[in-house]
Amino acid sequence: MTISIDSQGSDTNSLQPKGWLRYLSFSLDHKVIGIQYLVCGFLFYLIGGTLASAIRIELASPMSDFMPRDVYNQVLTLHGTIMIFLWIVPVVNGAFGNYLIPFYVGARDMAFPRLNAVAFWLIPPSGLMLVASYFIEGAAQAGWTAYPPLSITTPQSGQIIWIMSVLLLGGSSIFGGINFIATIIKLRRPGLKLMQLPMYCWAMLGTSLLVVLSTPVLAGTLILLSFDIVAHTGFFNPVLGGNVVVYQHLFWFYSHPAVYIMVLPAFGLVSEILPVHSRKPLFGYTTMVFSIMGIVVLGLVVWAHHMFTSGTPPWMRLFFTIATAFIAVPTGIKFFNWVATLWGGKISINSAMLFSCGFIVNFVFGGITGVALAQVPFDIHVHDTYFVVAHFHYIVYGGTVFIIFSSIYHWFPKVTGKLMSEKLGILHFAITFIGFNLCFAPQHWLGLNGMPRRVAEYDPQFQFVNQISSIGALLMAISTIPFLVNIFLSIKNGKDSGDNPWNALTPEWLTSSPPPVENWEGEAPLVKEPYGYGKPITQEN
């Protein structure tokens, strides 16, 4: 990797792309790769969002009248698959992880820069292949969960392409996880202890452990599923002697930790954002670390709460009820600690802070419905209904996506050296918050009263509430506009931010904005107290 001091990253080698073209190249620079993940992920977010809009248009009327029924099933399958594997997982792990972690451990780059670039470049082709499958012979239409026998009996090519795409995306995720673990454990600058790292590093360490332990099981499962589809084996096909519930166990062994893979990095990011904008230390550093590890351990042993109605025995249902409910304890601790971080601070009410506070409110709501869902008797009524859809959107959108936006507002000045417009940011927040809650809050009632998931037609008594939900979705779509306008205008004409517009203390702010290729001029700063706000001493550099 050629190195130069020029913050543009250009050098004497005329073959290296300059300027924005770097972002289309096989760059080994973790900052470039981080932005590649972010922009690529956001493009897939827009595609997934378009699919969601199609769903909400269909659901505005109780009949199946907007698109053919099998197309609707393809749309909902791709919506879930894209949002999970091409937006959330790559962005909170790959984008922010790659950009920030070398700064936080005091390194010039990740442990394995080439593996890093490979991990990113697996994503655009897999995503394009997945989207293209619609135009070949139809996309997969068995839901992102791909339960057999349905996934074995629907049209083959779409499902096989889906499997190949998810296998590649899972591989990308595993490579990233290996890189993060090695960087955090092995690449810390001299003098920097584990318990002095910014909380995001701990979150990524926990997440990467989950990635490395659970994603391979999904890979194996999908390989077996593809054998069933293509070679007519009977792993999950009862007609040939197989067992459909075994698929569910194997699938959820990954897919439950997957939700923590989507949420733990967001927990880490908000732990970075709140102290800066409240000028107060993160409350309870040690307990925050332990609660991350608690969530990681518990997250691996609760998967069957997705299978309470499948035909599992009572003792199994009970074990998973208790274990799942206990995850509320370390998670709750984190939320109390975040509120305690705000308490007594000097809070700047800006876009980053608003989205983080919106996250707290939304996620507490989603977490509560989660504890309810963990109880077997409760879940039996609402399993596979819009109650579950509402729950996980509160967590994934109201939680993680809100944090992604908060993080963009927070770190945009660092990446570009410019400030974003606060006016547009607050407008973005307001429309998003209202639209999101309008869309998903009513869905709890829909599920409780009889509307199942993954349907294009429903009982007409639910039409009015569905229309409210669709209006909320419309607002969510509209909210993208002030955000995108803000991004483009700020990149072009934004006010100069200076190196550290928030006067933050973590290592990435102790260098220029944007940072030089080697991250700092000279040695990496040793920051022993990344949350040392409110203290009279100055940070050593």
Partner 1 sequence: MTTLDSSKEIKKNNSDVSEHHEDFRMFGLITFLIADGMTFAGFFAAYLTYKAVNPLPDGAIYELELPIPTLNTILLLVSSATFHKAGKALLKNKNSDTQKWLIVTALLGITFLICQLFEYFNLPFGLTDNLFASTFYALTGFHGLHVTLGTLMILIISWQSRPKAGRITNKNMFPLEAVELYWHFVDGIWVILFIILYLL
Partner 2 sequence: MISKNLYLILIISAVFAISFWIGFNVNLLPAEASINAPIYDELFKILFIIGLIIFIGMTIAVIYSLFKFRKRKDQLGDGIALEGNLSLEIIWTVIPSIIVLIIGLYSYNIYDRMGGMKELNHSHEMMATNTEKIWAGISQASNSEFVSNNLSVEVSAMQFAFLFNYPKGEFISGELHVPVDQKVSMKMESKDVIHAFWVPEFRIKQDIIPGQPTILNFTPTKVGKYPIICAELCGPYHGGMRASIIVEEESDYKDWFNKNTKTEVSL
Question: By C-beta, is 81 or 226 nearer to partner 1?
Answer: 226
In whole angstroms, the minimum distance from the beta carbon of 111 to partner 1 comes to 6
Q: x/- site string to partner 2, residues 260 to 279, per CB under 8 A?
A: ------------------xx
**Under 8 Å between Cβ of 395 and 263:** yes
Tell which residue, 104, 206, 5, has the closest CA to residue 504. 104
Stretch binding partner 1 (CB under 8 A), from 211-219, 279-287, 312-320, 383-391: 211-219
Check binding of 314 to partner 2 (CB under 8 A).
yes
Among 129, 164, 213, 245, binds partner 2 (CB under 8 A): 245
In whole angstroms, the minimum distance from the beta carbon of 347 to partner 2 comes to 5
**Under 8 Å between Cβ of 127 and 152:** no
Stretch binding partner 2 (CB under 8 A), from 201-209, 428-436, 451-459, 484-492: 451-459
Check binding of 302 to partner 2 (CB under 8 A).
no
Check binding of 464 to partner 2 (CB under 8 A).
no
In angstroms, the CA 227 to CA 152 distance is 10
Residue indicated by tokens 């409350």: 283
- Angle between the N-to-C axes of helices 123-136 and 113-121, in degrees from 0 to 180, rounded to the nearest 10: 10
Check binding of 195 to partner 2 (CB under 8 A).
no
Check binding of 67 to partner 2 (CB under 8 A).
no
Q: What is the 8-class DSSP label of residue 452?
A: B
Check binding of 155 to partner 2 (CB under 8 A).
no
Quote the tokens at residue 340: 């305690």
Check binding of 241 to partner 1 (CB under 8 A).
yes
Question: By C-beta, is 102 or 281 nearer to partner 2?
Answer: 281
Strands (DSSP E) along 153-307, which ranges?
none
In angstroms, the CA 352 to CA 381 distance is 38
Site for partner 1 in 253-272 (CB under 8 A): 253
Q: Identify what 89 binds: partner 1, partner 2, none; CB under 5 to 8 Å per kind.
A: none
SS3 annotation, 492-507: HHCCECCCCCCCCCCH
**Under 8 Å between Cβ of 190 and 527:** no
The answer for residues whose C-beta is within 8 angstroms of residue 388's C-beta and 6 or more apart is 373, 382, 447, 453
Among 133, 337, 407, 437, binds partner 2 (CB under 8 A): 337
Q: What is the full DSSP assignment across 267-309?
A: HHHHHHHHHHHHTSPPTTHHHHHHHHHHHHHHHTT-GGGG-TT
In angstroms, the CA 502 to CA 253 distance is 41
In three-state secondary structure terms, 69 is helix
Check binding of 190 to partner 1 (CB under 8 A).
yes
Q: x/- site string to partner 1, residues 71 to 110, per CB under 8 A?
A: -----------------------------------xxx--
Q: Which residues are near partner 1 by CB under 8 A?
A: 2-5, 11-12, 106-108, 111-112, 115, 174, 177-179, 181-182, 185-187, 189-190, 212-217, 219-221, 223-224, 227, 231-235, 240-243, 246, 249-250, 253, 518, 522-524
